[in-house]
Every structure is written in C-alpha cells, then in structure tokens.
Amino acid sequence: MLLHVTAFIIQMSIILPFEIAAAGHIGSLASVLFLPHAVRVLSVWLLGPKAFFALFPASLFISYLFFWHDYDPVTLFLITLCGSASAVIAFEFLRFMNLDVYPKNAESINWRSLVFAGCLASFFNSVGGTYLKREGLAPAEIFELLSRYLIGDIGGLLFCLIVLMLILRYHRLSHR
C-alpha cells in the first residue's frame, strides 16, 4: 500500500506538472509515464489476486485525495476500481489461458511474460479508464487518451523494471 501511495505522490508532484505544461488538459487525464502501474503489476505478480485488497484502498485514498473535484464520486470509484483490478484481471486471464505468469521460484522467472502481463493489464486499464473519462472529449481526444494510458502504463512499468534491475545488479555486485 505504501509503495502504491508513494508512486502516486511522485506521479502527482513531479511528473504530472511537466505533463500538464507540455500537453495541457489531456496531460492531467493520463500520464505518459505512470509509475503506479508498475506497483500494481509487480504486486499482483508477487502476491497474486489478493494484492487487490491492498491496491484498491490505497488507490481509493489517493483518488479521493487528488481527484475528488474532477469526477463525481461514482465515476471516480469506478475509475479507481478499474485501475486497481486491471493487473489482477490480466494475470488471471493469462492463467485461464494456461499461461501462468506468477513466479514459482527465483530460477523460473520469465521477464517477458511479466512484461506481457503488464501490457495486457495496461490494455484493460486503458479501455476502462478511457470509457469512464470519455465524457466531453472529442473523438481525437479519446484516441489520444487511450494512447496515453497505454504508453504511460507500459512506460511506467518498463522504467520501474529497469530501475529495479539496476538496483538488484548493484546489490549483487556489492555483496560479492
């Protein structure tokens, strides 16, 4: 929960101001580097579907703290639910399709499958989030919002995975 809230705070205080300056209003609807998506994906990957019960309250807290004035309470609740559930839906869908991405042990980690699951979660989140935020947007803006969701979620996931990889590599080298 704490990592999810921290990622959101970094998102809102550091990344979002630059995006609003560069892209205007559409920058406030979806980020092109959304770090909390990585926390969602990695949490579900490590903990399974029960991660939802930590992610959803944290997301709800952040959503109502930062976005209460942008959406009516029901829409904000649904946007938060969609985002929090997207990784669980993606991982469980893949398991249903006989592609179990969850780690069994440290040697069997398939990073490509993890990234694929994160991309699928991004797809579910982008479709749901765009649908719920579409009111008042022109068709071109809806497509841009959908694209920003996809790019932001996947970009945030890849950025965090690279940072984690570098940290773990440094940790391994420094403890030899």
Encode pLDDT of 68-84 as tens digits. 888 889 999 999 999 99
Say what the pTM is: 0.87
Encode pLDDT of 71-123 as tens digits. 889 999 999 999 999 999 999 999 999 998 998 876 667 889 999 999 999 99
What sign has the CA pseudo-torsion 71, 77, 82, 85?
positive
Q: Hey, where are the domains in the chain?
A: 2-174
